[in-house]
Amino acid sequence: MCICESLGQEEQRVDIFSERRKWGRWVTVVSFLGNIDINLNDFSKKAKKFCASGGTVKNKTIELQGDHRLKIKKFLIDNGFPEENIEIRHVDKQKYKKRR
């Protein structure tokens, strides 16, 4: 990691939330607000390995399979993101109803 990436991380705001998707599966969404100086594909590989889950990168977000809000916050802090710039939200919306 170069010094330019660490400078960008100090200014970066990160929003973390989990939501239910189709078939009742939980997805953790990590969205980066503002300019991103890091390679999200490489960063998501490390995050997926840390959380032991699958996931993808879409636009300025990383989507992880499962509810990993606290794990991903610890991962971001360990990688140089300031704790005060990381916000964890609880989204209580359910798009799909469970079958009975």
Query: Any idea where the domains of the chain sit in the sequence?
Result: 3-91
59 Rama sector, left if φ>0, alpha if ψ -120 to 50, beta otherwise? left
Helices 40-51, 69-78: crossing angle, 10 deg rounding: 120
14 strand-pairing partners? 32, 86
What per-residue confidence (pLDDT) applies to 100?
55
What per-residue confidence (pLDDT) applies to 3?
47
What per-residue confidence (pLDDT) applies to 80?
87
pTM of the shown model = 0.78
CATH for 3-91 is: 3.30.780.10
What per-residue confidence (pLDDT) applies to 12?
79
What per-residue confidence (pLDDT) applies to 96?
53
Averaged in consecutive runs of 10 residues, what is the pLDDT profile of the chain (100 residues)?
Answer: 54 88 90 85 93 92 93 92 88 57
Q: How far apart are CA 24 and CA 26, in angstroms?
A: 7
At residue 12, φ and ψ (nearest 5 deg) are -75, 135
At residue 37, φ and ψ (nearest 5 deg) are -105, 0
